Chains A and B, each alone.
Chain A
Amino acid sequence: KAGVTQTPRYLIKTRGQQVTLSCSPISGHRSVSWYQQTPGQGLQFLFEYFSETQRNKGNFPGRFSGRQFSNSRSEMNVSTLELGDSALYLCASSPSASGEPTDTQYFGPGTRLTVL
């Protein structure tokens, strides 16, 4: 089975712009979660989508949003980019419909976003 794929792998934007990142989960996985990784704040949970609905949300401003399509692919969008949004954005998928804490999340390689 192919793993989680994320596109693009690298992205450079300027302050004030918006950006859309894409994630394709492992085939058959219906839950997709997004995480932000920065040197200062570490790994932080952004949100989780299941069956096109946001099931869980972290503590990020409304500039960060996401969606999930009927084929389970997910996108996240960041509007009005700030320098502090520079980070590695990781997507993870898991197979469970119930979202149990025992579920394993499988991570993609990430998209590295640089905001200038």
Chain B
Amino acid sequence: AQSVTQLGSHVSVSEGALVLLRCNYSSSVPPYLFWYVQYPNQGLQLLLKYTTGATLVKGINGFEAEFKKSETSFHLTKPSAHMSDAAEYFCAVKAAGNKLTFGGGTRVLVKP
């Protein structure tokens, strides 16, 4: 079975500051990892995913994440926060099949 833990249900950052959202996973098989973003009253939008190959993955809107097997982590970063980054972010894992297992989510507040 697989599970995902997102450290911090709420994160507050200043506009222009680094955004760092933490995700740790547990999986009995090599995992496939995803980050999704959810804006108010909307569905989930894929930011990026790790399947195989390069461990540093670049996504949309300037986000990137690094897969670290030794730390079972897949943290999401963005060098400079923008007001439009205010949203809820979900880390998810798939081990087999098409079932996503999600973390609890991290809500990001961006202060001007």
Residues of A bordering B, CB below 8 Å: 4, 31, 33, 35, 42-45, 48, 55-56, 58, 90, 92, 94, 96, 99-110
Residues of B bordering A, CB below 8 Å: 32, 34, 36, 41-46, 49, 51-52, 90, 92, 94-105
From A44, A99, A110, contact of B43 by CB (8 A): A110
Q: How many A-B residue pairs have CB under 8 A?
A: 66
Does A56 lie within 8 Å of B98, measured CB to CB?
A: yes
- Closest approach, in angstroms, between the C-beta of A91 and any C-beta of chain B? 8
Give Cα A58 to B52, complex, Å.
Answer: 26
From A94, A102, A105, contact of B51 by CB (8 A): A102
Does B98 lie within 8 Å of A99, measured CB to CB?
A: yes
- Closest approach, in angstroms, between the C-beta of A90 and any C-beta of chain B? 6
Does A55 lie within 8 Å of B90, measured CB to CB?
A: no
Give Cα A106 to B32, complex, Å.
Answer: 16
Give Cα A109 to B44, complex, Å.
Answer: 8
Does B98 lie within 8 Å of A31, measured CB to CB?
A: yes
Closest chain A residue, CB of each to CB of B49: A104
Closest chain A residue, CB of each to CB of B105: A42
From B51, B52, B99, B105, contact of A48 by CB (8 A): B99
Given A44-B102, A103-B98, 19 additional A-B pairs, CB 8 A: A4-B43, A33-B98, A33-B100, A42-B103, A43-B92, A43-B100, A45-B99, A48-B97, A48-B99, A55-B97, A56-B97, A56-B98, A90-B43, A101-B94, A101-B95, A101-B97, A102-B49, A104-B46, A105-B100
